[in-house]
């Protein structure tokens, strides 16, 4: 990956800071001209092509593969099956920590889900490898597939999501419900959804002895390195990963997947570099998905509309061989004040690939159900949905009783409602129409997402010519990390953006942790901020201790770094350039390091979340039940806005995802076979441009001094929350029909 | 990719000869055929590329007022031909409601007629499918069949024909011109596609190696231009096949319906001409009760083939709406763009 030149006009110079500037993506030109190199664009010398064969049964054994027929096909080099697959140093079914997911790596003939890899064909060309796969004609011993949430006994898991307790409560639910004068209970269904980034999982792997060079999209290079090292029994340092750009990840590229490992195994087997790219339909199985849920919400409220009890139970599904449980009920922890809250989960094991983190895992389906239920409860109390939410506004985090590190949700409600025109909303349904006779409805939902941080490192350097270098193994998934982190880097060194070189996207750089949980900018940004501060501190020491410097003796007053110079804090006129300080000290460069991680004391003391309010308008054809979202207004408060352009596009993307959740996405599984029937982008619906309404995202000011030094919360996932519920509520408002099964399809509205 | 012979004949006669080889398939734009080959659903041993055959890419206005649409005319070129769209507005509307802009730029008229069903079990080669592999059974029965047929289906196959283009063409008495080893022949589009019966693998009356050269619309079809519409209901605004669609064309005289044409899409394995509904309308006043009567007549024989009973009432409502729109008159601007849901003032009750 060549170093990217910084071409932004220095408008920020006038403002004195790069953070806060709406810069366009620094790699935008590379991407639009095709010069950006994604994993599958690499062709090391001698490279051959691998194609995956996947199972068409969901449960059973592979009894035969016609390897001879595939081998006889011109161009086919090798067929990797359990018979000849390289043995691994670690059982891929071993699980030493909750983030180690069990992988299907051709170590036996067992089939545990449809689309599970059962062989890999390697050939001179992709065409030959593909035909080799077709010639394998697998034979199976099939067992009946277990599908659907009612196919087996369920159990209460020990933990859900990334290790949260499966059951939590505070207060007395039974008493709260008994004391209520208004009660509701309803069940909401959400379907299985599959991550479908534009770029499918891809890997180009090349071995040299026991060192390994790979190009692959990754949301967590250091974790991938560790996983590969463990499986192959090699040193992590011997594994070099390049992942400069991801064509989207959404959680499915967070943990190293089975197919990626198979590419490495194939390269080992044939002794040549191998490229393996998943076909679109192969994205539906071995690389994770969002599990289906059935959620039961029970609420009680007193005569004034104050909640007395909120109970949220989720039944979900996981694979038969691993433990990821969609933590949907936890969406009820942080939003609405109630003296009694209880959340719980229950799981059934089915013959499916293991579900995984998918954009707003738990929060997305949980919010869709909770926000629908809150709307139903507001109606039952005879209150406007916004007034009801304000009535139950939480001043402390409801489940824990902790104060919030910051919470500008009230302002989100106000600004969003104002912009949307919510005040004109009639309370009863079916009150509005447009000129064409379409039913019009308005609905809202509250958005919330925890402000998380993982662990990340960064290195910063000042060079003798006064320019800086900042390095961190961060991941640009299209969200704009290359740009936002470079802005933070520039500020951390007190340099203009065009005076720094920002290096990122390879595993030999400092570990930037994982790009997930909406925590990447907060984590890595904090690390960069620390690394820059470390450099500036050393530089200041040099100057202040040197009597030849105009800054000599500034000790107590301190200095400020700005525009490549250190200034005395108490006398701005006294300053010296970085270059001069370094030259006098006879140093070629100064290096500093920084770490980003949550402050445990702050975390113990405060509840940390980003918040938002989403308002939706829909139009529904009264005869056909066809729904169109025509307007979305979201107002979000997420601490410091590093780059308003990038942040806005995250909110837009999140809200569009919400449209998809509400109206489109649905993996169709044949209940008899366990096979997915719509594993392609023609039939697995996501919104097209014509489905995307006029969207506005309002950036609500919020300053948070507790989350981290820069005050950054995450923005990557919050837009999904709130939106699906807002749309469902708008559909009810338009039609008077409450659809509790997502996606909301026209057949469910025909009787409206 | 499976191995196949590839030929690009220079003339129609050579194409028909090359197509006579057993296992041969004609390749037009390939927007359907290539997908099917990549998925292993179709594995033709010979591909006869007709995409550059001369003379088949023309839209010709015939002396009697009809039109001949060459088999290789692109969907988009036809829809945006202003003379064509003015005279056959519902056909232009249907074309523009199909697929995506990119696909319409590539897809040909002949290929659209012969595109294969979107039944997901047909595409999933691990499923039993009588259409793909005769005699294996039909996994759509009792499976995921929300979008399957409600008219003309059999226990052997419950799939639908997915074309939009064919729906108004059927309503307007289009004729398919075919060239084969035994020479030329004309086939009325209404008789072109076959219902599944016990041989769902047999989809049209075409004999092996017969090649579509054109689709012809008769002069009478243009007499509906003032009152002809196509309406498609789907599960997203673009790039989705119809759940149900309808074409309606009326000839109004003195405030009465002199003649009506109605066809449905997405309900059967062929574009469905609703002659009983047409009969209800002939000589009647164009008003809601008549439209509803026509809709009832059109669906009189409908029955669910699975979880798709909703399509029957949906189809009736679409017929009523399409007739209402047709009676109101073809919009000035043609091809009429699908109505934008984002415009239009909102009134409070
Ligand atoms: C994602 C997607 C969405 C779509 N959505 C829609 C939609 O909403 N509505 C709609 O109507 N269509 C839709 N289509 C279908 C599209 O219209 C057809 O794929 C296209 O019209 C086929 O034309 P073609 O030239 O590409 O045919 P090809 O793919 O080349 O051929 C299709 C078939 O016709 C045969 N054939 C082609 N030309 C001739 C000829 N002249 N004589 C004899 N046989 C011939 C071929 O042998 C083949 O069997 C969609 C397609 C895709 C891929
Ligand atoms: S409905 Fe027809 S196309 Fe679909 S599986 Fe059954 S036989 Fe095949």
Last residue of a domain, one of A265, A283, A301: A283
Contact B46, B8 (CB under 8 A): no
Rounded Cα gap, residues A461 and A488, in angstroms: 14
Q: What tens digit of pLDDT does each residue of A179-215 get? A: 999 999 999 999 999 999 999 999 999 999 999 999 9
In this structure, the number of other CB atoms found within 10 A of the CB of residue A126 comes to: 16
Residue of B nearest to A74 (CA): B3
Q: Examine residue A162 and state whether it is found in any structural domain, yes or no.
A: no
Q: Is the pLDDT of residue B303 over 90?
A: yes
- Classify each residue of A684-714 as buried b or exposed e, where b means 16 or more C-beta atoms within 10 Å of its C-beta: bbbbeeebbbebbbbbbebebebbbbbbbbb
Residue B237 has pLDDT above 50, yes or no: yes
Handedness of CA A550, A551, A554, A557 (dihedral sign): positive
Angle at Cα B223 formed by Cα B220 and Cα B224, nearest 5°? 115
Asked if residue B274 has pLDDT above 60, the reply is yes
Q: Report yes or no: B320 at the A interface, CB cutoff 8 Å.
A: yes
β-bridge partners, A154: A348
Nearest residue of chain A to residue B41 (CA atoms): A134
Take atom 3 of ligand 2 and give the residue whose Cα is closest: B122
Atom of ligand 2 nearest to the CA of B120: 4
Q: Do B313 and A750 touch (CB under 8 A)?
A: yes
Pairing of strands A565-568, A571-577: antiparallel
Do A625 and A582 lie in a common domain? no
Q: Is residue A395 part of a domain?
A: no
How far, in Å, is the centroid of ligand 2 from the Cα of B130? 6
A435 and A460 in a single domain? The answer is no
Contact residues, chain B, for A663 at CB < 8 Å = 236
The reported pLDDT for the residue numbered A16 is 62
pLDDT at B344: 66
Task: Tell me the pLDDT tens digit for each residue of B212-229.
Answer: 999 999 999 999 999 999
Among the residue ranges A6-20, A348-362, A578-592, B126-140, the one predicted with the least confidence is A6-20
Kind of pairing, strands B46-49 and B24-27?
parallel
* Ligand 1 binding pocket includes B241 (Cβ within 6 Å): yes
Kindly tell me if the per-residue pLDDT of A1 is higher than 50: no
Contacts of B122 in chain A (CB under 8 A): none
Sheet of B46-49: strands edge to edge?
B5-7, B46-49, B24-27
What torsion, rounded to 10 degrees, do the Cα atoms A68, A69, A74, A79 define?
Answer: -50
What pLDDT is recorded for position B343?
61
- Ligand 1 mean position to A733 CA, how many Å? 41
Asked if residue B112 has its Cβ within 6 Å of ligand 1, the reply is yes
**Element (H or E) spanning A403, and its range?**
none
pTM over 0.90: yes
Alpha-carbon distance A406 to A707, whole Å?
9
**To the nearest 5 percent, what fractions of chain A are helix, strand and coil?**
30, 25, 45
Which of B111, B214, B239, B240 maximizes ligand 1 atoms within 8 Å of its Cβ, making it the mutation to test the pocket?
B111
Residues A638, A593 share a domain: no
Say what the pLDDT of residue A9 is: 38
For chain A, the average pLDDT equals 95
> Are residues A628 and B341, on separate chains, in Cβ contact within 8 Å?
yes
* pLDDT of B345: 77
> Both A570 and A633 in a single domain?
no
SS (H, E, C) B78-121: HHCCHHHHHHCHHHHHHHHCCCCHHHHHHCEHHHHHHCCCCCHH
* Mean pLDDT calculated for residue range A722-745: 98
> B53 CB less than 6 Å from ligand 1?
no
Instruction: Provide the β-strand partners of residue A141.
Output: A61
Instruction: Judge: B126–A675 Cβ closer than 8 Å, yes or no.
Output: yes
Peptide bond into A743 cis (omega under 30): yes
Q: Which residue of A has its CA nearest to B342?
A: A630
Helix (H, G, I), strand (E, B) or coil at A312: strand
Pair A427, A550 in one domain: no
End-to-end CA distance of chain B: 60
Distance B75 CA to ligand 1 centre (A): 10
Which domain-ending residue is among A597, A627, A655? A597
Task: Cite the active site residues of A.
Answer: 717
Q: Are A658 and A723 in contact (CB under 8 A)?
A: yes
Among B123, B159, B267, say which to mutate for ligand 2: greatest number of ligand atoms within 8 Å of CB.
Answer: B159
- Closest ligand to C-alpha of residue B72 is 1
Q: Give pLDDT, residue A6.
A: 36
pLDDT band at A15 (very low <50, low <70, confident <90, very high): very low
Domain termination site, one of A235, A254, A283? A283
Chain B residue nearest residue A429, CA to CA: B349
Among A550, A553, A580, smallest CA distance to A567 is for A550
SS3 category, A661: helix
The domain ranges of chain B are 5-52, 226-328
Q: For all residues of chain B together, what is the average pLDDT?
A: 95
Whole-number Å distance between alpha carbons of B124 and A678? 9
pLDDT of B336 above 70: no
For chain A, positions 84-143, list CB contacts with chain B under 8 A: 127, 130-131, 134
Domain B5-52, CATH class in plain words: alpha beta
pLDDT in tens, B49-58: 999 999 999 9
**Helix/strand/coil for A364:** helix
Alpha helices in A85-185 (DSSP H): 126-135, 173-179
DSSP code, position B138: B
* Sequence-separated (6 or more) residues with CB below 8 Å from residue A738: A186, A372, A376, A732
Residue B319 has pLDDT above 80, yes or no: yes
Number of domains in chain A: 3
A/B interface, count of CB pairs below 8 Å: 112
Residues of A within 8 A of B310 (CB-CB) are: 747, 750
Give contacts of B344 with chain A, Cβ < 8 Å: 434-436, 438
Q: Which residue of B has its CA nearest to A140?
A: B126
Q: Does A628 touch chain B (CB under 8 A)?
A: yes
Please list, residue by residue across B251-260, b when 16 or more beta carbons sit within 10 angstroms of its beta carbon and e when fewer do. Answer: bbeeeebebb
Distance from CA of A625 to the nearest CA of B (A): 9
Q: How confident is the model at residue B339 (pLDDT cuts 50, 70, 90)?
A: low
Helix residue ranges, H only, chain B = 12-19, 33-38, 75-79, 82-87, 89-96, 101-106, 109-114, 120-123, 166-171, 275-281, 288-298, 310-328
For residues A490 and A467, what is the distance between their CA atoms, to the nearest angstrom?
Answer: 10
Mean pLDDT of B103-126: 98
Query: In which band, very low, low, confident or very high, does the pLDDT at B341 lie, cut at 50, 70 and 90?
Result: low
Ligand at minimal distance from the CA of B192 is: 1
Beta-carbon separation of B1 and A682 below 8 A: no
Whether residue A743 contacts residue A191, with contact meaning beta carbons closer than 8 Å, is answered with yes
Question: Which of chain B's residues have a Cβ under 8 Å away from the Cβ of A672?
Answer: 139, 142-143
pLDDT one-digit tens code per residue, A408-435: 999 999 999 999 999 999 999 999 999 9
Rounded Cα distance between B261 and A572, Å, is: 85
| pLDDT computed for residue A4 by the predictor | 39
pLDDT in tens, A532-542: 999 999 999 99
Cβ contact B164:B232 at 8 Å: yes
Please answer yes or no on whether A131 and B144 come within 8 Å at the CB atom: no
DSSP letter at A612? Answer: E
Asked if residue B346 has pLDDT above 80, the reply is no
The finding on whether B31 has its CB within 6 A of some atom of ligand 1 is: yes
Query: Are A747 and B314 an interchain contact pair (Cβ–Cβ within 8 Å)?
Result: yes
A73: helix, strand or coil:
coil
Cβ of B318 within 8 Å of Cβ of A624? The answer is yes
Stretch A279-296: mean pLDDT, rounded?
A: 98
Domain enclosing residue A421, as ranges: 402-452+599-752
Contact B2 A747 (CB under 8 A): no
Closest atom of ligand 1 to CA, residue B44:
47
| Distance of residue A109 Cα from the nearest chain B Cα, in angstroms | 19
* pLDDT above 90: residue A398: yes
Q: Phi, psi (5° rounding) for residue A105?
A: -125, 40
Question: Considering the domain boundaries, does residue A491 fall inside one?
Answer: yes
- Does B344 sit within 8 Å of A426, measured CB to CB? no
- Between CA A97 and CA B328 the distance in angstroms is 67
Burial class of residue A53 in the structure, from the number of CB atoms within 10 Å of its CB (0-12 exposed, 13-18 middle, 19+ buried): buried
User: pLDDT tens, A607-649?
Assistant: 999 999 999 999 999 999 999 999 999 999 999 999 999 999 9
Q: Please say whether the beta carbons of B169 and B91 come within 8 A.
A: yes
Q: Which of B115, B118, B239, B242 to mutate to test the pocket of ligand 1 (most atoms within 8 A of CB)?
A: B115
CB of B289 within 8 Å of any CB in chain A? no
CA distance B2 to chain A (A): 6
DSSP B298-321: HTTT---SSS-THHHHHHHHHHHH
CATH of B226-328, one of 3.30.390.50, 3.90.170.10, 3.30.9.10, 3.40.470.10: 3.30.390.50
Q: Nearest Cα to A422, choosing from A386, A392, A381? A: A386
CA distances from A136 to A65, A123, B237, B264 (A): 5, 14, 40, 42
Q: Which atom of ligand 2 is nearest to the CA of B132?
A: 8
Contacts of residue A747 in chain B, CB cutoff 8 Å? 146, 310, 314
Question: How far, in Å, CA of A465 to CA of A364, rounded?
Answer: 49
Is the Cα torsion angle A544, A547, A551, A556 positive or negative in sign?
positive
pLDDT in tens, B181-212: 999 999 999 999 999 999 999 999 999 999 99
Cβ distance of A689 and B238 shorter than 8 Å: yes
Closest chain B residue to A684, measured at CA: B240
A699 part of a folded domain: yes
Kindly tell me the burial class for residue A120, based on how many C-beta atoms sit within 10 Å of its own C-beta (0-12, 13-18, 19 or more): buried
pLDDT exceeds 60 at position A5: no
Q: What is the pLDDT of residue A557?
A: 79
Query: B237: which chain A residues are within 8 Å (Cβ-Cβ)?
Result: 628, 688, 690-691
Q: Is B6 on the interface with A (CB under 8 A)?
A: no
CB contact under 8 A, B2 and A134: yes
Does A59 reach chain B within 8 Å, measured CB to CB? no
Q: What is the ipTM of this complex?
A: 0.96
A744: closest chain B residue by CA: B235
Number of the ligand 2 atom closest to the C-alpha atom of B130: 7
* Residue B176 scores a pLDDT above 90: yes
Question: Residue B115 C-alpha to ligand 2 middle, in angstroms?
Answer: 15
Which residues, in sequence order, are bridge partners of residue A615?
A444, A633
Can you tell me the distance from the alpha carbon of A447 to that of A358, in angstroms, rounded to the nearest whole number?
17
Q: Closest Cα to residue B87, out of B220, B274, B200?
A: B220
Residue nearest to atom 11 of ligand 1 (CA): B163
Whether the CB of A56 is below 8 Å from some CB of chain B: the reply is yes
- CB atoms under 10 Å from CB of B189, counted, come to 23
**Which residues 6+ apart lie within 8 Å of A141 measured at CB?**
A60, A61, A63
* Nearby residues of A375 by Cβ (< 8 Å), 6 or more positions away: A385, A443, A444, A725, A728, A729, A732
CA B201 – CA B230 distance, rounded (Å): 29
Atom of ligand 1 nearest to the CA of B163: 11
CATH number at residue A240: 3.30.365.10
Same domain, A587 and A712: no
* Confidence bin at A553 (pLDDT 50/70/90): confident
Can you say how many angstroms the Cα of residue A172 is from the centroid of all Cα atoms in its chain? Answer: 34
**Cα three-residue angle A618-A623-A624, rounded to 5 degrees:** 70
Cα–Cα distance between A455 and A596 in angstroms, integer? 6
């Amino acid at each position: 990956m060549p170093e990217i030149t910084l071409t932004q006009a220095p408008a920020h110079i006038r403002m004195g800071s790069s953070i806060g500037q709406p810069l366009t993506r620094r790699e935008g030109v590379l991407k639009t001209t095709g010069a950006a190199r994604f994993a599958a664009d690499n062709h090391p010398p001698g490279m051959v092509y691998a194609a995956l064969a996947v199972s068409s049964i969901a449960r059973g054994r592979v009894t035969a593969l016609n390897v001879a027929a595939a081998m006889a096909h011109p161009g086919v080099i090798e067929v990797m099956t359990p018979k000849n697959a390289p043995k691994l140093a670690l059982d891929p079914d071993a699980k030493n920590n909750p983030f180690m997911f069990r992988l299907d790596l051709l170590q036996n003939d067992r089939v545990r889900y449809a689309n599970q890899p059962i062989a890999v064909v390697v050939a001179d060309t992709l065409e030959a490898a593909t035909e080799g796969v077709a010639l394998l004609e697998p034979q199976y011993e099939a067992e009946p597939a277990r599908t659907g949430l009612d196919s087996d006994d369920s159990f209460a898991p020990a933990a859900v999501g990334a290790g949260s307790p499966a059951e939590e409560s505070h207060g007395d639910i039974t008493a709260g419900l008994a004391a209520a004068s208004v009660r509701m209970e309803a069940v909401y269904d959400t379907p299985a959804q599959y991550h479908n980034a534009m770029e499918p999982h891809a890997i180009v792997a090349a071995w040299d002895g026991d060192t390994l060079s790979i190009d692959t999209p990754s949301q967590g290079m250091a974790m991938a390195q560790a996983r590969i090292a463990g499986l192959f029994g090699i040193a992590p340092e011997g594994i070099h990963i390049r992942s400069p750009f991801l064509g989207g990840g959404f959680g499915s590229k967070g943990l190293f997947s089975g197919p990626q490992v198979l590419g490495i195994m194939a390269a080992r087997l044939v002794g040549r570099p191998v490229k393996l790219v998943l076909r679109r339909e192969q994205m539906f199985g071995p690389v994770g998905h969002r599990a289906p849920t059935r959620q039961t919400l029970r609420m009680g409220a007193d005569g004034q509309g104050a909640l007395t009890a909120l109970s949220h139970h989720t039944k979900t599904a996981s694979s038969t061989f691993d433990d990821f449980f969609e933590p949907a009920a936890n969406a009820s922890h942080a939003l609405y004040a109630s003296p009694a809250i209880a959340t719980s989960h229950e799981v059934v094991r089915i013959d499916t690939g293991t579900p995984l983190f998918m954009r707003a895992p738990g929060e997305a389906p949980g919010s869709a159900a909770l926000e629908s239920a809150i709307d139903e409860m507001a109606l039952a109390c005879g209150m406007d949905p916004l007034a009801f939410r304000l009535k139950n506004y939480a001043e402390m985090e409801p489940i824990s009783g902790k104060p919030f590190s910051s919470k500008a949700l009230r302002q989100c409600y106000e600004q969003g409602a104002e912009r949307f025109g919510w005040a004109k909303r009639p309370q009863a349904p079916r009150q509005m129409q447009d000129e064409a006779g379409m039913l019009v409805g308005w609905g809202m939902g509250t958005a919330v997402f925890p402000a998380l941080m993982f662990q990340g490192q960064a290195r910063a350097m000042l060079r003798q010519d006064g320019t800086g270098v900042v390095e961190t193994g961060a991941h640009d998934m299209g969200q704009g990390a290359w740009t936002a982190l470079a802005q933070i880097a520039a500020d951390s060194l007190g340099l203009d953006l065009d005076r720094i070189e920002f290096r990122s996207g390879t595993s030999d750089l400092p570990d930037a942790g994982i790009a997930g949980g909406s925590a990447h900018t907060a984590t890595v940004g904090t690390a960069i901020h620390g690394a820059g501060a470390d450099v500036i501190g050393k530089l200041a020491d040099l100057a202040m201790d040197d009597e030849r410097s105009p800054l000599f003796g500034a000790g107590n007053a301190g200095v400020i770094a700005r525009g490549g110079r250190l200034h005395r804090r108490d006398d701005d006129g006294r300053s010296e350039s970085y270059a001069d300080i370094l030259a006098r000290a006879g140093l070629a460069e100064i290096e500093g390091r920084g770490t980003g991680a949550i402050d445990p004391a702050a975390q113990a003391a405060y509840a940390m979340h980003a918040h938002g309010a989403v308002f939706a308008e829909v139009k529904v054809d009264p005869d056909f039940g066809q729904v169109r979202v025509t307007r979305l207004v979201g107002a979000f408060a997420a601490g410091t806005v590093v780059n308003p352009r990038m942040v806005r596009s995250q909110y837009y993307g999140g809200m569009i995802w919400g449209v998809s959740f509400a109206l489109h996405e649905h993996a169709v599984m044949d209940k008899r076979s366990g096979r997915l029937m719509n594993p392609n982008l023609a039939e697995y619906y996501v919104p097209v441009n014509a489905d995307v309404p006029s969207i506005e995202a309002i950036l609500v000011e919020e300053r948070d001094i507790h989350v981290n030094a820069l005050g950054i919360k995450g923005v990557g996932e919050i837009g999904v929350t709130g939106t699906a519920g807002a749309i469902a509520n708008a559909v009810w408002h338009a039609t008077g029909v409450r659809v509790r099964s997502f996606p909301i399809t026209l057949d469910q509205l025909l009787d409206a | 990719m499976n191995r196949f012979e590839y030929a690009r004949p220079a003339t129609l006669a050579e194409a028909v000869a090359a197509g006579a080889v057993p296992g041969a398939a004609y390749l037009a734009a390939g927007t359907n055929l290539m997908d099917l080959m990549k998925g292993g659903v179709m594995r033709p041993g010979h591909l006869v590329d007709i995409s550059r055959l001369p003379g088949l890419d023309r839209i010709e206005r015939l002396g009697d007022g009809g039109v001949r649409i060459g088999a290789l005319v692109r969907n988009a070129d036809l829809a945006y031909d202003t003379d064509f769209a003015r005279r056959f507005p519902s056909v232009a509307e249907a074309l523009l409601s199909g697929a995506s802009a990119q696909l319409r730029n590539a897809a040909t008229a002949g290929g659209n007629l012969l595109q294969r069903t979107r039944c997901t079990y047909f595409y999933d080669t691990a499923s039993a499918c009588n259409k793909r592999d005769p005699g294996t059974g039909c996994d759509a029965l009792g499976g995921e069949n929300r979008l399957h047929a409600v008219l003309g289906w059999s226990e052997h196959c419950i799939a639908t024909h997915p074309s939009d283009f064919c729906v108004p063409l059927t309503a307007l008495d289009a004729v398919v011109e075919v060239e084969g080893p035994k020479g030329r022949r004309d086939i009325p589009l209404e008789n072109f596609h076959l219902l599944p019966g016990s041989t769902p693998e047999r989809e049209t009356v075409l004999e092996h190696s017969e090649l579509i050269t054109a689709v012809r619309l008769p002069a009478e079809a243009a007499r509906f231009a003032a009152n002809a519409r196509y309406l498609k209901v789907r599960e997203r605004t673009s790039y989705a096949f119809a759940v149900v669609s309808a074409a309606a064309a009326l000839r109004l005289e003195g405030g009465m319906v002199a003649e009506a044409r109605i066809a449905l899409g997405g309900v059967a394995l062929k574009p469905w001409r609703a002659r009983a509904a047409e009969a209800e309308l002939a000589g009647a006043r164009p008003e809601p009760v008549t439209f509803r009567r026509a809709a009832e007549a059109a669906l009189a024989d409908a029955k669910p083939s699975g979880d798709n009973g909703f399509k029957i009432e949906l189809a009736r409502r679409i017929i009523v709406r399409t007739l209402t729109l047709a009676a109101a008159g073809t919009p000035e601007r043609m091809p009429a763009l699908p109505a934008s849901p984002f415009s239009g003032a909102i009134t409070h009750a």
